[in-house]
Homo-oligomer: A and B are copies of this chain.
């Protein structure tokens, strides 16, 4: 699984576990809803700052977030 697709899978899974819509996640992370949609389709590679912001909103550590991505890639 390519990296951006695994990031997309993990982001979507964590967002849904929190019961958030893309719009709600975007608002909480101060990002654009369109950008969240692009991330969840694997169309963009997020920056480290963006990953960290999303991890905060989703109540997961940066390391655990990236670990989940790496596991999804297998």
Report A's interface with B, CB cutoff 8 A: 3-4, 7, 45-52, 61-63, 66-67, 69-70
Among the listed B4, B61, B63, B67, which residue makes an inter-chain contact with A48, where contact means beta carbons less than 8 Å apart? B4
Oligomeric state, in copies = 2
Residue pair B49, A48 in contact (C-beta under 8 Å): no
Main secondary structure of the interface of A (DSSP, over half): helix
A74 to B51 CA separation, bound complex (whole angstroms): 18
A47 to B50 CA separation, bound complex (whole angstroms): 9
For residue A39, which residue of chain B has the nearest CB? B48
Among the listed B47, B66, B70, which residue makes an inter-chain contact with A45, where contact means beta carbons less than 8 Å apart? B47
A22 to chain B, nearest CB (A): 19
